[in-house]
Amino acid sequence: MDVPLVHIIESNSGDMESVSDYYSNKLVDYVRKVLQIIPQAVFEILDEVTELQARSIKEMPSRVTRDELKELAALDDRHHCAMLTH
């Protein structure tokens, strides 16, 4: 991003300020877009994790029979939840 300014400075042109403003605005726009996407992605993941926990992953009772264990473990949902958070 410095190259256009270096050429303008070397040529002693009066356009340095306008070119600097242009590239500064481009950089600010890019940073805003990136910073806007990050919270959206994080909250989408949190929403999916919350939905999984509320819908599929049940609390384990203190006593469980062998037959109930596989169903209550919800291994596929727990794995999916773990993959979302890593």
Q: Residue 81: how many CB atoms within 10 A of its CB?
A: 19
Relative orientation angle of helices 75-84 and 16-55, to the nearest 10 degrees: 160
Q: Check if the beta carbon of residue 52 is closer than 8 Å to that of residue 77.
A: yes
Q: Residue 8: how many CB atoms within 10 A of its CB?
A: 17
Model confidence band, residue 5 (pLDDT cutoffs 50, 70, 90): low
Q: Tally the residues of the chain.
A: 86
> For 17-67, what is each residue's pLDDT tens digit?
787 788 889 999 999 988 888 888 888 888 988 888 888 777 778 888 888
Q: Against a cut of 0.85, is the pTM above it?
A: no
